[in-house]
Amino acid sequence: MSTPTSGQGHPDDGPKSLKEQLWDPVAGFGVTFRTMFRKVVTEQYPFEKLPTAPRFHGRHQLNRWPDGLEKCIGCELCAWACPADAIYVEGGQNSDAPGGERFSPGERFGAVYQINYARCILCGLCIEACPTRALTMTNEFELADDTREALIYEKSDLLAPLLPGMEQPPHAMLLGDDEKDYYRGTFTSKGDAQ
């Protein structure tokens, strides 16, 4: 079988019939004409927001204990587990001295906590790695912004809001004598009323 050389047309090309010249282009637009007057089924996203699935992976949240102390202990396991290298954590030391600053029940707390949503793939591996359930994911999915800097969420952006009965850290442990009471959920001594 020989192939046509440059300058030659295909051997089957010949004069086009009237059907090929007129009817075929009109028939090609048949799908367009049939669907032009149907009701639009597109979701009107910015104006009509549909609810997400209950287990949807959205924006992260740093949780608190019932007295307001942070659950994050600055262990950096979430940063190690992140395949996209989107999490940066620096641990800080809590102070046991009277009048010292205490942000979490343990020895350490997350002094710096950042998530870069320009990199984050919302996979949830950081959630599985967290030993204290400090990090969870919400259903919030609108994370777009105009600048890259605005996509880096700081600790203040990620912390859960203070609920009634909570105090803004730093403060002493109000739900137990030590961190074991917090982690076991046995609030026995100071704050059963909370």
Q: Which tens digits make up the pLDDT trace of 110-147?
A: 999 999 999 999 999 999 999 999 999 999 999 999 99
- Confirm whether 105 is domain-assigned: yes
Q: For residue range 17-37, list pLDDT tens digits in order.
A: 877 777 777 777 887 888 888
Give, in degrees to the nearest 5, the angle at Cα 148 between 144 and 149: 110
Question: Taking the model in full, what pTM does it have?
Answer: 0.72
- Confirm whether 159 is domain-assigned: yes
Question: Own/partner pairs for 53-56, CB < 8 Å, 24+ apart?
Answer: 54/139, 56/137, 56/139, 56/141
- State the total domains in the chain: 1
Percent helix, strand and coil across the chain, each to the nearest 5: 20, 15, 65
As a whole number of angstroms, the distance between CA 55 and CA 58 comes to 9
Range 88-127 burial, b when 16+ CB lie within 10 A, else e: ebebeebeeeeeeebbbbbebbbeebbbbbeebebeeebb
For position 9, what pLDDT does the model report?
Answer: 52
- Confirm whether 48 is domain-assigned: no
Query: What are the backbone angles phi and psi of residue 187, rounded to the nearest 5°?
Result: -85, 90
Residue in the block written with tokens 């997400």: 52
- Confirm whether 49 is domain-assigned: no
Query: By residue range, what is the domain housing residue 80?
Result: 60-184
- Confirm whether 23 is domain-assigned: no
Q: For residue range 89-99, list pLDDT tens digits in order.
A: 999 999 877 66
Q: Starting at the earlier edge strand, list the strands of the sheet with 87-93.
A: 87-93, 108-116, 152-153
- Confirm whether 79 is domain-assigned: yes
- Confirm whether 127 is domain-assigned: yes
Q: Read off the amino acid at residue 62.
A: L
**Mean pLDDT of all residues in the chain?**
85
| Share of residues in the chain with pLDDT > 70 (%) | 88
* 158: pLDDT strictly greater than 60: yes
The CATH code of the domain that includes 91 is 3.30.70.3270
Three-state DSSP class for residue 25: helix
For position 192, what pLDDT does the model report?
Answer: 46
Three-state DSSP class for residue 59: coil
- Confirm whether 109 is domain-assigned: yes
